[in-house]
Each structure stands twice: as structure tokens, then as C-alpha cells.
Amino acid sequence: MNKNTEALFAYDGLDRVMHEKARLGMLTSLAAHSKGLNFGELKQLCGLTDGNLSRHLKVLEEAKLIKIEKGYLANRPHTTVILTKNGRQRFLDYLSVLEKVLRDAAQETEIESSSDKNLKPRPA
């Protein structure tokens, strides 16, 4: 077996930081809003609690995928979350790998389905 086929389905580009369900939703939301989202908007779009959102934001910020801007709006604390340039590129690269996963799965399913049609039914 050659090196290219040894780990055909390893998908090294699936970044663990992004592959978690909540963080994937957060990054998708931020990618769709280039000017960023405030904490409440992101919380609502992703269906997360304050604590869960804060925890995931910290992971994404440490990975330099997002930038968090804190300030005040009408004398109230206001937090804006923005996808960094690096974060956007890494997210797009991640999506490319996900697309490959989907293509590979569809192709393998198609091959399996074709081979199933060639099988004769077993007698009862």
C-alpha cells in the first residue's frame, strides 16, 4: 500500500478546535457577519448559555480565530466578537476538508450501494 492510500480517511485538516459542535456554529455565525456579533446575538444564534458561550469564546480566542472587543454601549457593558483574518482562512480551509469528507462519504456510499445491487437475495 502506498503512503497516499494508507490513511485515506484520516482528514488531518479537521481542526479539533473548530470541530466541536458549538464552536462550529459560532464560527459559521461569525463568518456570515463580517462586522462581528455581540455576545447576545451570538448566544441566541447558537443556542448557548452565557457560561457555555464564554467557555467556547475563550478556546477560540486562545487559538487566535476570533477577537473579542469589550466596551460600553449606552453605559452598559458591550462585547463584540469578530472572526480574525487568520480565523476566516482557517475556517475556510476547514470547510474544504469537510467538503472532502462529504464527497468521500457519498462516493463510498455509492460504491457500496452498487455492490449491494449485485448480490443475490438469500433464500428464506
- pLDDT value at residue 4: 53
Helix (H) or strand (E) holding 70: strand 66-73
Q: What is the dihedral of CA 102, 103, 108, 112, to 10 degrees?
A: 90
In this prediction the pTM is 0.78
1 in any annotated domain: no
40 in any annotated domain: yes
Averaged over successive runs of 10 residues, the pLDDT of the chain (124 residues) comes to 64 88 97 97 97 98 98 94 97 94 83 60 56
20 in any annotated domain: yes
85 in any annotated domain: yes
21 in any annotated domain: yes
Please tell me the total count of domains within the chain. Answer: 1
- pLDDT value at residue 27: 98
3 in any annotated domain: no
- pLDDT value at residue 65: 98
Range of the domain at 77: 15-112
